[in-house]
Amino acid sequence: MSSLIAEPHIVPAGETTVSFGDFRLSQTSLGVLAGMGIETPTPIQAEVLPLLLDGRDVIGQARTGSGKTLAFALPLIEVVEPRLKAVQALILTPTRELAVQVAGVVDELGRARGVKTLMISGGRAFGPQRDELRRGVHVVVGTPGRVLDLLNQGAIWLDRVRFLVLDEADEMLDRGFAPDVERIIARTTPDRQTALFSATVPAWVKQTATKHLHDPETVMIAAKPEEAAQIEHLAFDIGGADKMRVLQDLLDHRGDGSVIVFGRTKHGVNKLAKRLVADGYPVAALQGNLSQNARDRVMDEFRTGKVPVLVATNVAARGLDVSHVAQVINLELPESPELLTHRIGRTGRMGRQGQAITLLGPEDITKWRRLERGFTRPIKRVPWRGAQALFANGHGANGNGNGQGHAEDMVTAAIPVAPARQSSRERERPAPAPRGDHSRRREPSLRRAPSSRHEGDLDRDAGPELSGRELLRRYGRDPRRPDWVDAERGITSLSGPSGDDRSTGRRSRRRHQSVCAGCGQTAETSFRPDPARPVYCDDCFRAVRETRREAISAPAS
């Protein structure tokens, strides 16, 4: 089955004026929707339902939490014939947690019509699943690995499948799942109806989908500006700071909502969770090596709020529908921009405010620049100033601001503001000792406006295409050097911040004030600081330099 895919039908995400009664849905389905308290279809549902009810193949793209599951579950239930005891619909999902959620929705919709739904996935015994299949089910929701195992054992037959859905299609057709998914699709009937849904649909997904869909209609729901503002994403350069301490600082100042901390590996997530638990934080870990019972227990505790902090791998990046997640923290970067989008989508659901924070150490910069190429909107990087400054300046996701601030505001915000919430751990922590005489200096604004027209012109115009001689001729100084130059006499200043030395014809070196990324005290430098890079006072710089030297000189293990 192969066909070219037409240009996507892009729909603005406005308010829909239709109701479920306007579609060819059975009275039973309409009654179930009314019992669930669902009255008005979301934009993705309003656009996709008529196409699927007409038997068309569809590729649907909409943001997380937009109602994609109901968009394909309703027409799927209408297609199934309850009197035929055979698998007539198959939904493939990448994770067990998503399979559980989708199966719950399909079962609730189809129970009144006598449609029986079975969720099959790894981590559970084969016997009960085989027994349920033998007794007869109409809809199977499962992960590719377990579905393929049951196919190879002859426990499940897909020759009567009339409706196939790939949920989170970008991951289902990626290298990891693609071989199993291809084998499963090859065992289904060629005249089936196929639907692909995801929050991100890269071009390669559409190209791969041409093998499995017939004359598909592509529907893309564009996010409204106010929906995009529901989630505030901030990226912080932590410099040489310890990521663990930064994470603990964030958790000490968290609000009332739940938090998901994303790591990269199963072992790393387990290790991080154990360390946080030892430090007194209410944390649970979710990763692929857990048994299904353990995963279910962790999810129940997180959904009910018994455990407010979840440390997880990318297994929690998709299909985790928990409305009270107020903050997502990317402790380690994902492998693709699409995965980052799905991670961020765990917060700000159902119209609520949310916040995503990405922590960037020196080892992350190269990978972050690679990820930036796939971003639809640029994400501002700023130096880390501490959770106290972050939440006190209107960047909180739970009442400490409107959640719609911008990362660049952190550059101009004054740092010494009292925290909105102080934990018992922080009250017990001693304050850092003052270093040098920095504590006596005035706290400046971190971004200094140009003091003259020429200085502003320098910031805009001075670039690598101008030579040093041309810069001296045009502006009287070379902005690439920390020292000011007397254009007439060619004398380079070596003086401090005392002002002009008119007797010698020298001009003093300009001093720039910034905040030390190590101790948080105000420091002065002779160069203009780069907001994307950390600045240290003398004591902290010596400590960082010694740490780096020890790391370089340490023998490889």
Q: Note whether 219 and 58 are within 8 A (CB).
A: yes
Give Cα separations from 56 to 162, 175, 227 (angstroms). Answer: 12, 27, 29
Which contacts of 29-32 are long-range, i.e. CB under 8 A and separated by 24 or more positions? 29/74, 29/77, 29/78, 29/109, 29/113, 31/112, 32/108, 32/109, 32/112
386 — pLDDT class (breaks 50, 70, 90): confident
Which of the pair, 306 or 445, is modelled with greater confidence?
306
Q: Tell whether domain 229-429 is in CATH 3.40.190.10.
A: no
* pLDDT tens figures, 187-202: 999 899 999 998 888 7
**pLDDT, tens digit (0-9, with 9 covering 90-100), for 67-90:** 899 999 999 999 999 999 999 999
Q: Tell me which of 421 and 357 has the higher pLDDT.
A: 357
Residue 554: Cβ within 10 Å count: 8
pLDDT digits (tens, 9 = 90+) for 237-247: 998 788 999 99
Q: What is the pLDDT of residue 303?
A: 87
Could you tell me if 540 and 516 are in contact, meaning their C-beta atoms sit under 8 angstroms apart? Answer: yes
Who has greater pLDDT, 521 or 76? 76
Strand pairing class (89-92; 193-198): unpaired
Q: What is the CA radius of gyration of the chain?
A: 29
pLDDT at 416 over 50: no
At the fourth CATH level, the homologous superfamily of domain 9-222 is: P-loop containing nucleotide triphosphate hydrolases (3.40.50.300)
Res 227: pLDDT? 53
Q: Would you say the C-alpha torsion 437, 442, 446, 451 has a positive or negative sign?
A: negative
Q: How many CB atoms lie within 10 A of CB 114?
A: 12
Q: What is the DSSP string of 134-181?
A: HH--SEEEE-HHHHHHHHHTTS---TT--EEEEESHHHHTSTTTHHHH
CA distances from 172 to 105, 166, 176, 197, 319 (A): 20, 7, 8, 10, 13
Q: Report the pLDDT averaged over residues 435-439.
A: 40
Question: By the 8 A CB rule, do 86 and 304 touch?
Answer: no
SS (H, E, C) 368-393: HHHHHCCCCCCCCEEECCCHHHHHHC
Return the residue matching tokens 């240009």: 7
Q: Check pLDDT > 80 for residue 116.
A: yes
Long-range contacts of 292-298 (CB under 8 A, 24+ apart): 292/96, 292/121, 292/122, 292/123, 292/124, 293/123, 295/96, 295/97, 295/123, 296/100
CA distance readout (Å), 204 to 135, 170, 210, 545: 40, 9, 10, 45
Lowest mean pLDDT among 24-33, 177-186, 375-384: 375-384
How far CA 118 is from CA of 149, 167, 290, in Å, comes to 16, 16, 22
Indicate if 229-429 has the same CATH topology as 9-222. Answer: yes
Can you tell me the distance from the alpha carbon of 123 to that of 126, in angstroms, rounded to the nearest whole number? 9
> Contact at 8 Å (CB) between 529 and 542?
no
Output the average pLDDT for the chain. Answer: 75
Q: What's the pLDDT band for 8 if we cut at 50, 70, 90?
A: low
Confidence of residue 512 (pLDDT cuts 50, 70, 90): low
Helix (H) or strand (E) holding 352: none
pTM: 0.57
* Length of the chain in terms of residues written: 557
φ/ψ bin of 501: left (φ > 0), alpha (ψ from -120 to 50), beta (otherwise)? beta
| Strands of the 309-312 sheet, one edge to the other | 283-286, 309-312, 258-262, 325-330, 354-360, 231-237, 381-383
Look up tokens 């004054």; give the residue. Answer: 414
**More reliable by pLDDT, 394 or 111:** 111
200 within 8 A of 164, measured Cβ to Cβ: no
Confirm if 386 and 357 have CB atoms less than 8 A apart. no
Q: What angle do CA 30, 34, 40 make, to 5 degrees?
A: 85
What lies within 8 Å, CB to CB, of 30 at 6+ separation is 20, 21
Asked if pLDDT for residue 141 goes beyond 90, the answer is yes
Domains of the chain, by residue range, sit at 9-222, 229-429, 451-557
Residue 153 confidence (pLDDT) above 50: yes
> In this predicted model, what pLDDT tens digit does every residue of 302-321 receive, in sequence order?
988 899 999 999 888 876 77
Confidence band of 103 (pLDDT split at 50, 70, 90): very high
Element housing 105 (H / E): helix 96-110
Average pLDDT over residues 223-244: 75
Angle between helices 453-461 and 468-475 (to 10 degrees): 160
